[in-house]
Amino acid sequence: MKKLPLFFSLIFLSATTYAQDSAAYSMRQQNETFLKELPVLWQQTAAEYRALCYQAFNLATLRLNEIPKKKFRKEKLAIITDLDETILDNSYVYGKLIKEDKEYSSAAWREWTDKSTATEVPSAVEFLQLAHAKGVTIFYISNRDTSEVNSTLINLQKLQLPNADTGHMLFLSNTSSKEVRRQIVMAKYNVIMLLGDNLNDFMQVFEKKPVEERKSEVDKVKEEWGKKFIVLPNATYGEWENALYNYQKNLPAQEKENMRKELLKGY
């Protein structure tokens, strides 16, 4: 076979390398899309997300209606709920950051919450209004900073949520654990239900646990899911993601990518 002149050989090699690099780059971009854009798009556009929210609050309504009427008369009943991605939809801030190719930051989050324009998670307002009409007190336990109370209060009142006042909003102060704040409510009320998108919204036993231990702890209380514990879907962020990195939030991006791939199961 006659050899190609050196010039054409170099062109051929360059073209082959470029094609290989382009393919690799394209696949990497696709993976980044799966990692960043699709979870937010799922929350904003997927009818399946909406259906899951309806399912969660339909189930919560069913459990609420199962409580005997005399219990409402004799006891002080309460529901504890998380806010972000449980009652309030914050996907807009993540959508904006992705479109502008910016990283998440506390400043970006604060810019968003200052607007007081989060919309409701589908059916959330309707359910809480129903519970309140039956005589249940609603407490909002959130890890939003206490400096965000006023802007959040405006947001809750815009949505006509019940018990939208500072006396029923327990925000982050000294620790991200919600256990102490839950106990404050439980000391005065019979808490009939907890709502959240994160396991830490329900019990302290889930906090700072590795992936497999979190699963194990979920199994231990499997009878509570769909009864006292109502979970809302959130594929965008959460404690599940921190568990992937063993709660080391400041790891380099490449190391995080390696850890994610290590956890992936194939065949």
Q: How confident is the model at residue 21 (pLDDT cuts 50, 70, 90)?
A: low
Any idea which residue has 């907890």 for tokens? 194
Q: Rounded to the nearest 5°, which phi and psi values hold at 28?
A: -65, -40
Mean pLDDT, residues 209-216: 97
pLDDT single digits (tens) 65-97:
999 999 999 999 999 999 999 999 999 999 999
Nearest residue to 164 (alpha-carbon basis) of 175, 177, 151: 151
pLDDT single digits (tens) 180-198:
999 999 999 999 999 999 9
DSSP 3-state of 123: coil
**Structure tokens belonging to residue 190:** 């019979």
Cα–Cα distance for residue pair 259/190, rounded to 1 Å = 42
What confidence score (pLDDT) does residue 8 get? 43
Nearest residue to 67 (alpha-carbon basis) of 56, 55, 79, 82: 79
**pLDDT higher than threshold 90 for residue 20:** no
Q: Across all residues in the chain, what is the average pLDDT?
A: 90
Nearest residue to 146 (alpha-carbon basis) of 124, 172, 184, 185: 172
**Structure tokens belonging to residue 77:** 């009943």
Domains and CATH numbers, the chain: 35-236 (3.40.50.1000)
Strands 88-89 and 229-231: unpaired
Triad 194, 128, 145: Cα angle to 5°: 65
Cα–Cα distance for residue pair 173/147, rounded to 1 Å = 9
Mean pLDDT, residues 224-245: 96
